[in-house]
């Protein structure tokens, strides 16, 4: 646009292979730049010096033992959802319905806790909860997948709409099961009997969630990188035609992968309802279904990389929450910072896949 | 029992933000950009208008013309910047459109809620909440004979000027897309950028212009919601999920802004239908009625993909960045 009259100044070409440390150097620079910009934005709004801002954010994330456990818990749930959406993305299936799949998994969990709480022994109840949460998530993810496989229905919008259907279903059951009548919320389920609460390891409330997700990271890595199904997913993602040519049943792979994706989201719902909150609300997923898309993409779908990217986003969220509390600002401040960091990282991908050459002699070339 | 005269104007008022959003997104998608940042852009448009009006009202001035112009310009500039950001990332830097869009929605919704919640604190103004009743009054001014023409006036003339602007913009967009050279070239860019490039069309410029204009139109939807529908009162997350519904509406209208006028009214009606259906004592059912717009969208989505008619398909290269040397 600006360079229109002066002939080409830049030549853009695809990079063949950037060594991994080069790619991470570029990403690191982008994150650093973003953090500087974030600091200035925060300074402009609160008046504290930029270094002080990060000190406050650091305290918000790691300031006390309790805060560190909350950080770990948030990290675990976000990571779980990110792992869930990854196989679908590797297949180029845009599952932005994580939100709904978490909610429906959580709803199934809550239903079991409320309806079967006093009828089954606790170990059996937890088994039933796990199975039904994952099944509910799988169904929620499977419906758009079946339509995609059969009629090539746009999955981005289908999964998006399923989020709202799930939200309304939860809103419906919240009113049906509300305690006490007219309160508009369910409250802590089975407070006295603790039936269906996931067991605590020692005195650490969140440890079980963190361990489950840690195992999931490793399993997902091997599933994607080493298993036959993981390979099929990669082929379908790269080229559906190739997949068809070599005899991979594309439709079956799509439905199977999405059901897996939904089931893991359902598991996240189970961890939230059964393991942490012991209640259900329409906002229990808290936008994680969308954040997970970005976490997975930023890590280039590598499960171990996702540990770092989800840590980055959770840290920002917790840190920004601390800043908002101290300065009496709105809690959406974290979203702004997250947005800025994401823009920088998204932009940096360009410099990883393309090379820029500045043309020095463009004056001569020009006619 | 079912009060149509009360129902229709409310459905229309619900529909206008959706119409702005879907017209904007249709223009954007015709250039091959799937902008999932529309919900964020609508928040930004709304809050920028609020910020403009807030400062103007704080300054104590009350010129009716300026009171409308300042929020309008602020809103357009805010959403234009968001559109430029999206274009810069996806067109110039060829980033993934879905991820960029979602990041923009996170940012935009956060931006709106943050300034909506903190504007008073940040400026140190001595008011309890953001209530721009004076500005809103100018935005809500109806046509002069709306009162005197009875039911007809109530059904068709009782809206603020932005509502009529929305319909006009939808009709103009439809005309430009279908009947003009610019529209033809824009559609070519969205269908097959390589062909358009070979024909000498400047792909980058078309994508930038279409997406930015689309963003500005969508931003107006946010402004209408705050100033007209919500009477100038900003409430956090009050705009809700209308941005996503607007994107769904694009598909519902099979990429035709003129069809959008009626279908957005249908959506608006479905959105508030639960208020008008008697449910007796079992209030929970209302929550199920709120599902209707989404269920209808899913149904349309599946049906259009099942019928698979060529003229009803999305632009061929929707969501795919264009890089000349990759052909």
What DSSP line would sit under B80-113, residue for residue? Answer: HHHHHHHHIIIIIS---HHHHHHHHHHHHHHHHH
Across the range B221-241, mean pLDDT stands at 84
Cβ proximity of B37 and A290 under 8 Å: no
Is B327 contained in some domain?
no
What does each C-alpha distance from A205 to A59, A66, A278, B43 come to in angstroms? Answer: 21, 10, 12, 38
Distance from CA of B284 to the nearest CA of A (A): 5
Indicate the pLDDT class of residue A324, thresholds 50, 70 and 90: confident
Nearest chain B residue to A11, by CA: B325
Query: What's the pTM?
Result: 0.87
At B152, which CATH number? 1.10.3470
Please list every residue in chain B whose beta carbon sits closer than 8 Å to the beta carbon of residue A14: 325-326
pLDDT of A39 higher than 50: yes
Beta bridge partners of A357: A11
pLDDT above 90: residue A358: no
- Interface check for A239 against chain B (CB to CB < 8 A): the answer is no
Residues A125 and A195 sit within 8 Å (Cβ to Cβ):
yes
Which residues in chain B have Cβ-Cβ distances shorter than 8 Å to A347? 88-89, 93, 95
Name every chain A residue with its beta carbon within 8 A of the beta carbon of B110. 332-336, 338-339
| A347 in contact with chain B, both atoms CB, cutoff 8 A | yes
Structure token digits, residue B55: 């400062």
Alpha carbon distance B13, A318 (integer Å): 38
* Radius of gyration in angstroms for the set of CA atoms belonging to chain A, rounded to a whole number: 23
More confident residue, B194 or B279: B194
- pLDDT at residue A99 greater than cutoff 70: yes
Is A325 in CB contact (< 8 Å) with chain B?
A: no
Q: What are phi and psi of A364, to 5 degrees?
A: -75, -35
Query: Mean pLDDT across chain B, nearest whole number?
Result: 85
User: For residues B170 and B127, what is the distance between their CA atoms, to the nearest angstrom?
Assistant: 38
Nearest by CB to A329, which of B118, B204, B251? Answer: B118
pLDDT digits over B38-91, tens only?
999 999 999 999 888 888 887 776 677 788 888 899 999 999 999 999 999 999
Instruction: Report the percentage of chain A scoring pLDDT > 90.
Output: 30
pLDDT at A78 (0 to 100): 93
Q: Is B235 on the interface with A (CB under 8 A)?
A: no
Residue A146's beta-bridge partner residues? Answer: none
- Place A92 in a pLDDT band, splitting at 50, 70 and 90: confident
Least confident range from A284-288, B91-95, B195-199: namely: A284-288
How confident is the prediction for chain A on average, in pLDDT? 85
Q: How confident is the model at residue B181 (pLDDT cuts 50, 70, 90)?
A: very high
Domain range spanning residue B171?
A: 4-316
Tell me what pLDDT residue A283 has. 85
> Phi first, then psi: what are they for A164, rounded to 5°?
-75, -35
Q: What pLDDT score was predicted for residue A4?
A: 46
Structural domain harbouring A217: 75-300
A169 Cβ under 8 Å from any chain B Cβ: yes
Give Cβ neighbours of residue B28 (< 8 Å, ≥ 6 apart).
B34, B35, B38, B210, B211, B214, B215
Q: Is A336 within a domain? A: no
Q: What is the arithmetic mean of pLDDT over A93-104?
A: 91
Counting other chains too, the contacts that A90-93 makes at CB distance below 8 Å and 24 or more residues apart are A90/A224, A90/A233, A90/A234, A90/A237, A90/A301, A91/A233, A91/A236, A91/A237, A91/A253, A91/A254, A91/A257, A92/A236, A92/A237, A93/A145, A93/A148, A93/A155, A93/A254, A93/A257, A93/A258
- Residue pair A338/A345 in contact (Cβ under 8 Å)? The answer is no
- Of A282 and B214, the structure prediction assigns the larger pLDDT to B214
Q: Least CB-CB distance to A294: which of B102, B122, B326? A: B102
Q: Picking from A180-189, B19-28, B100-109, which range would have the lowest pLDDT averaged per residue?
A: A180-189
H or E, element range at A55: helix A50-62
pLDDT tier at A366, thresholds 50, 70, 90: very low
pLDDT on residue A14: 76
Is the minimum CB–CB distance between A350 and chain B shorter than 8 Å? Answer: yes
Residue A218: inside a domain: yes
Interface residue B160 vs chain A (CB under 8 A): no
Whether the Cβ atoms of residue B13 and residue B226 lie closer than 8 Å to each other: no
Query: Does any domain span residue B307?
Result: yes
Asked whether residue B326 is domain-assigned, the answer is no
Say what the ipTM of the complex is: 0.86
CA distance A130 to A124: 10
**B35-40 average pLDDT score:** 91
Q: Is residue A255 part of a domain?
A: yes
**Number of H helices and number of E strands within chain A?**
14, 2
Q: Which of these, B70, B98, B83, lies nearest to B42 by C-alpha position?
A: B83
> Is residue A222 included in any domain, yes or no?
yes
pLDDT value at A3 more than 80:
no
Neighbours of A4 (CB within 10 A): 9
A209: in domain: yes
- Peptide linkage before B41 cis (omega within 30 of 0): no
**Residue A344 within any structural domain of the chain:** no
What pLDDT does A100 receive? 93
Question: In the predicted model, is pLDDT for residue A144 greater than 50?
Answer: yes
Total domains, chain A: 1
Number of domains making up chain B: 1
Which tens digit of pLDDT belongs to each residue from A257-300? 999 999 999 999 999 998 888 888 888 888 888 889 888 888 88
pLDDT of residue B281: 66
| C-beta of residue B269 within 8 angstroms of C-beta of residue B14 | yes
Residues of B with Cβ-Cβ distance to A336 under 8 angstroms: 107, 110-111, 114
Q: Which residues of A touch B306 (CB under 8 A)?
A: 151
In a domain, residue A139? The reply is yes
Inside any domain, residue A165 = yes
pLDDT computed for residue A367 by the predictor: 39
- Residue window 41-100, chain A: list those with CB within 8 Å of chain B: 45, 94, 96
Per-residue pLDDT band for B326 (boundaries 50, 70, 90) equals: low
């Amino acid at each position: 646009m600006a360079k229109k009259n002066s002939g080409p100044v830049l030549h853009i070409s695809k990079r063949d292979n950037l060594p991994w440390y080069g790619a991470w150097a570029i990403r690191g620079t982008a994150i650093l730049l973003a953090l500087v910009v974030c600091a200035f934005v925060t300074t402009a709004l609160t008046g504290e010096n930029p270094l002080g801002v990060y000190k406050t954010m650091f305290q918000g994330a790691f300031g006390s033992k309790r805060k560190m456990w909350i950080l770990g818990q948030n990290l675990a749930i976000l990571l779980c959802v990110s792992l869930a959406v990854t196989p679908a993305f590797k297949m180029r299936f845009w599952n932005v319905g994580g939100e709904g799949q978490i909610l429906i998994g959580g709803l199934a969990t809550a239903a079991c806790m409320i309806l079967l709480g006093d009828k089954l022994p606790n170990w059996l109840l937890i088994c039933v909860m796990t199975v039904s949460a994952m099944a509910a998530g799988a169904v929620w993810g499977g419906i758009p997948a079946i339509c995609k496989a059969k009629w090539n229905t746009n999955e981005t919008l289908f999964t998006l709409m399923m989020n709202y259907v799930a939200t309304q279903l939860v809103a419906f059951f919240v009113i049906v099961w509300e305690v006490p009548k007219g309160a508009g919320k369910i409250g802590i389920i089975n407070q006295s009997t603790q039936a269906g609460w996931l067991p605590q390891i020692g005195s650490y409330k969140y440890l079980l969630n963190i361990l489950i997700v840690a195992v999931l990271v490793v399993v997902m890595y091997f599933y994607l990188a080493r298993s036959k199904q993981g390979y099929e997913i990669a082929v379908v993602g790269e080229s559906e035609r190739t997949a068809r040519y070599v005899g991979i049943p594309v439709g079956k792979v799509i439905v199977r992968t999405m059901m897996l994706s939904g089931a893991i989201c359902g598991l996240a719902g189970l961890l939230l309802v059964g393991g942490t909150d012991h209640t259900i609300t329409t906002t229990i997923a808290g936008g994680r279904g969308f954040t997970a898309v970005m976490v997975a993409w930023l890590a280039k779908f590598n499960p171990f990389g996702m540990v770092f990217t989800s840590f980055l986003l959770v840290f920002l969220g917790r840190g920004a929450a601390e800043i908002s509390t101290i300065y009496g600002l709105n809690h959406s401040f974290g979203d702004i910072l997250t947005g800025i960091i994401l823009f920088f990282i998204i932009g940096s991908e360009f410099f990883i896949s393309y090379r820029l050459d500045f043309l020095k002699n463009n004056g001569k070339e020009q006619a | 029992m079912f009060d149509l005269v009360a129902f229709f104007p409310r459905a229309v008022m619900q529909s206008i933000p959706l119409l702005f959003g879907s017209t904007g997104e249709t223009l954007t998608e015709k250039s091959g950009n799937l902008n999932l940042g529309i919900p964020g852009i609508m928040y930004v448009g709304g809050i920028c208008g609020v910020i403009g009006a807030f400062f103007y009202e704080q300054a104590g001035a009350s010129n009716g013309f300026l009171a409308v112009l300042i929020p309008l310009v602020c809103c357009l500039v805010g959403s234009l910047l968001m559109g430029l950001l999206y274009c810069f990332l996806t067109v110039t830097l060829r980033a993934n459109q879905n991820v960029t869009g979602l990041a923009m929605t996170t940012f935009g919704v956060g931006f709106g809620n943050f300034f909506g919640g903190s504007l008073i604190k940040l400026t140190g103004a001595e008011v309890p909440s953001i209530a721009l009743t004076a500005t809103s009054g100018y935005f809500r001014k109806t046509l002069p004979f709306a009162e005197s023409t009875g039911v007809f006036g109530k059904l068709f003339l009782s809206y603020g000027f932005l509502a009529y602007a929305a319909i006009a913009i939808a009709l103009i967009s439809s005309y430009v897309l279908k009947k003009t050279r610019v529209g033809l070239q824009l559609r070519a860019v969205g269908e097959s950028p390589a062909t358009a490039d070979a024909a000498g069309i400047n792909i980058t410029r078309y994508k930038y212009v279409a997406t930015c204009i689309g963003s500005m139109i969508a931003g107006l939807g946010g402004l209408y919601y705050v100033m007209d529908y919500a009477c100038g009162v900003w409430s956090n997350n009050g705009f809700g999920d209308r941005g996503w519904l607007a994107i769904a509406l694009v598909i519902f209208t099979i990429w035709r802004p003129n069809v959008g006028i009626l279908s957005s009214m249908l959506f608006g009606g479905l959105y508030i239908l639960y208020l008008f259906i008697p449910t007796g004592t079992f209030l929970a059912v209302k929550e199920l009625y709120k599902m209707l717009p989404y269920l209808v969208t899913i149904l349309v989505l599946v049906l259009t993909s099942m019928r698979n008619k060529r003229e009803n398909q999305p632009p061929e290269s929707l969501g795919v960045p264009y890089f000349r040397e990759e052909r």
